[in-house]
Amino acid sequence: MTMDLHTCKDRPGLCGAGKDIEMARSVAAALQIPHTVLDLKETFRRTVMDRFVSEYVNGRTPNPCIVCNPNVKFKLLYDFAKMNGFQKIATGHYAKIEENEGRYLLRRSETAKDQSYFLYRLNQFQLSHSVFPLDGLEKSYIRQKAEEAGIHVAEKKDSQEICFVPND
């Protein structure tokens, strides 16, 4: 499942978003699994982008990922998954979830690519219904396996900027 947050059609200059959707579609085809695109543009704009602009205009340094993850990504992906008969969602985040006496703890990844900081606002329900299968695997290993499987995203540049701000 891919979230359509801002495509080239509605935000000129952000062609990476449209390309990411096409890339996800081709990966799903290579793996012979169904692929769905969930249109979340309006929700994303209202929940993440408008807040980002407001914070920035008021002299603060917003982090859109920590707003998006609990309020858009992990909430709406899970809602979609549940409606389609799935109990959990899996994402490509480098982090770890440990269960300890009925509590779910977010832990840093053992890899150099730790992304737990961006997930710290996930609640117990979200953690209990999430899986991070990349934890413990180095990015180079993941890219090698993709290449071996004929999945043409192995050379894709790492995303390290705000997804909706063009040209970094």
Catalytic sites, residue numbers:
68, 163
72 close to 113: Cβ distance less than 8 angstroms: no
The dihedral region occupied by 32, where left means phi > 0, alpha psi between -120 and 50, and beta the remainder, is left
Specify which residues 90 forms β-bridges with: 131
The tokens describing 129, both together, are: 């219904």
End-to-end CA distance of the chain: 25
